[in-house]
Chain A
Amino acid sequence: SSDRDSGEGDGEGDAAQSGGTLVFGAAGDPAMFDPAFASDGETFRIARQIHEGLLTNEPGTTELVPALAEDWEVSEDGLEYTFNLREDVQFHDGTDFNAEAVCFNFDRWHNFTGLAQSPSATYYYQAVFGGFADSENPGIYEGCEATDENTAVVSFNQVTSKIPAALSLPAFSIQSPTALQEYDADNLSGSEDAITYTEYALEHPTGTGPFKFESWDRGNGEVTIVRNEDYWGEPAKLDEIIFRTIPEGNTRRQELQAGTIDGYDFVSPADYQTLEDDGFQVLVRDPFNILYLGFNGGNVEGTQANPALQDPRVRQAIAHAIDRETIVNSLLPEGSEVATNFMPPSVDGWADDVPTYEYDPERARQLLEEAGAAGTTLRFYYPTDVSRPYLPDPAAMFQVIAEDLREVGLNIEPVALQWNPDYLQAVQAGQADIHLLGWTGDYNDAYNFIGTFFAEDQNNQASAEFGAFSAPEIFAALAQADAAPDPSDRTDLYQEANRLIKEFLPAVPISHSPPALVVAENVQGLEPSPLTAEDFSTVTLQD
């Protein structure tokens, strides 16, 4: 820490606790600090330190544990959640956290209007709750009641597997009603053609977390948060954390090596070893993601799917053609696994008895022969200019899979597009024959994976990611599982869905790979989270 800081921090007399400043290299700027409007990782990373929700995940795992709620009960029909709230919790502005505040937040989300209903503002609310008070489909939220100071009852009109796990998302953090009102937090209108965030979101985010928002220097790309001395739990060790935006991976690495930052996220797998050799700690997260190769192989009338790929044998041939073992060994960081399901094994509903389609080029050629598809040309889409946790080096992945496919007699026509928005748009409009895509789970729920990919509403359009395909069994299994109030029924249904999906094979799951962050040798206490939900309050700096 610099001289300036020690000079300022001394007066408190808590020098023993005083932990200095941590500088963390982020890959991008946060959008703002009101997590209700956020959907991106960089915003969430900071929001997680400032705000808390009712629930959270056990550090280092995806297990759901209480946070602001000490515990919760679900009614028989699964429609009513009673949260018993923690006492003696205060927002950063000194107001009390209580059931009123909880209900205020739920009502706030449900009653968003105008621009706040834009999916770019409230993606997660819409994904989980389905709609707003004034929209055509008002969604599953029924109401919230503060039955006493520390008890809030939230009721729904429909059961979903997403609740309660989704409530651990930063998007559902409980924020200070006083501050929200004072700084006009919901009034996003600003100007008619782009969202102008409110003063609240930009300058006065007020939560209950271990850190308080201090400042955002946009020009220099740095966000400063400081310790919340009045935190209800174990106070943070660090005095302050600065998140600095450094877009280029190499630059982040060199800055760490030069000692100007103490850690960063999105470490290139190629650098793990070098960094460790240099004495840095590479903190590998458990894999909680999936990379798959998608097929445009829809099977309904009028689909724009590729005719060859409509033949299941061709899809199977491709699955057999890919040497996933080598991919996992050579291209992905240590700790990666070959995927069999479209979700990591740690998620409830993962099935171990799905068809696996082992690497077998001979079989692949044979299947193609049978299907009369040998020599078919496939347009293979891959993204450029991006590195995702499940896909650290798209170009390498593309080249290796393309070679594998060429090996079994397919022709590959490469199409490279910029990740956002070109690639995503093209792929989701079903323009690609085959493509690379994946997903990192938001919370521990099967629907968050396979429901997102294969639920009916995603796939019933003519131009969809996997082509319009009709698989009533899959759709039904997913819908039933989501609505099943009993967790063990749910697990069975999801396992069934997984088996069906692998048989139908709208895509080939390839790998789960562990993303990592890296910190300097003296940084202790940072627990890598599979959900990238690291908690910085436990971090200390050793001399």
Chain B
Amino acid sequence: MTALGDYKRERIDELAARAGQLPEGDAGLSLTRSAVRRLRRDPVAITGAVIVLVFLVVAAFAPLLAPRDPVTQYLLSEIRPGLIPGSQEGFPLGADNLGRDLLSRLIYGSRQSLLIGVVSTVLGLVVGMTLGVLAGAFGGWVDTLVMRFVDIILSIPGLLMAITVSVLLGQNQYALMIAIAVVQVPIFARLLRGSMLVQRGSDYAVAARALGVRKSRIVFGHVLPNSLSPVIVQATLSLATAIIEAAALSYLGLGDPDIARPEWGAMLANAQDFLSIRPALAVWPALCIIVVALGFTLLGERLREALDPKFRR
């Protein structure tokens, strides 16, 4: 029987490749990159990313974007108790209770708010992950000890713990970040441990053991990277929670002591005293918080789907 000529063979190979289930562009893409690819095609994820990006840009270029200095009390002499100048020439959103430009404060506020979000999340992530890795990698009594500790922390009301942390560390912006981070720690620790336990029993981890790969490399080279995706998702979501949490702490008087430095949470909390006369002072920062939180959450939720092993094919 005559087999196909070489030319035809190639043609068929080509067709066969095209018929394969993977989109051509995906060839050789790692899971992370193909997840990013999927995200790029997801309108919801894009919406989230655009929101986050816009605010990042605003934060980065605040000095260029803000029409005025955010701390100068331009209109202080016009302020009377019960009267705060509204929007006017040169102050598109009006002034705040000390005669500062609200718009500029909102723009500069993105810096501090995002910073709080990022730093506290990273902090919570690092500590939580360290605990999680300890528990997940060693198992046994280390695991028990770490997890009991985490349980203990979990059973303390979160806000209460944040309050005591701020009180303990004195009030400054770092204490605020730490206070927010502390609440995140048990979440990350449990998440990572759970996911590492699953991955540790997976075939590829056993395979690595069978290959004689060193334990440290199995943990850090295989198990850990594969356990990270829920943690990454949680971290994205935490960015949003951290900003909201900052507002709550500011409201309780535990925020950044340099309150001239604009930050949405503190602005919102501070505006509570003027709700009856200028609700805009509260509405704008609240809106900013909600929109940014929305952005991070949308991104996080979609990331969860994109990283879900169910979608790996």
Contact = CB atoms under 8 A, between A and B. Distances in A.
Q: Do chains A and B touch in the complex (CB under 8 A)?
A: yes
Interface of A: 249-250, 253, 268-275, 326, 329-334, 382, 384-386, 393, 395-396, 398-400, 402-403, 414-418, 422
Contacts of A400: 73, 76, 98
B94 to A, nearest CB: 15
A417 B255 CA distance: 10
Contacts of B79: 330-331
A417 B171 contact: yes
B260 A270 contact: no
B98 A396 contact: yes
**Interface size bracket, B side:** 20 to 34
Nearest to A257: B276
Contacts of A253: 276
B81 A332 contact: yes
Contact of B253 (A271, A334, A385, A415): A385
Contacts of B80: 329-330, 334
Which of B83, B170, B254, B257 has most A Cβ within 10 Å?
A: B257
B254 A384 contact: yes
B77 interface: yes
Main secondary structure of the interface of A (DSSP, over half): helix
B126 interface: no
Nearest to A386: B253
Given A270-B273, A272-B82, A385-B254, 5 more contacts: A270-B82, A270-B276, A326-B76, A331-B79, A422-B167
12 contacts: A269-B82, A273-B81, A273-B82, A326-B76, A330-B76, A330-B80, A333-B81, A399-B98, A400-B76, A403-B72, A417-B170, A417-B171
Contact of B71 (A268, A329, A334, A403): A403
A399 to B, nearest CB: 5
A334 B255 CA distance: 30
Contacts of A331: 79, 81
Interface in B36-77: 71-73, 76-77
Given A270-B277, A271-B82, A416 B260 contact: no
Nearest to B76: A330
Contacts of B71: 403
B258 interface: yes
Contacts of B167: 418, 422
B77 A250 contact: no
A253 B82 CA distance: 14
A399 B260 contact: yes
A274 B276 contact: yes
Interface in B253-274: 253-255, 257-260, 270, 272-274
A249 B277 contact: no
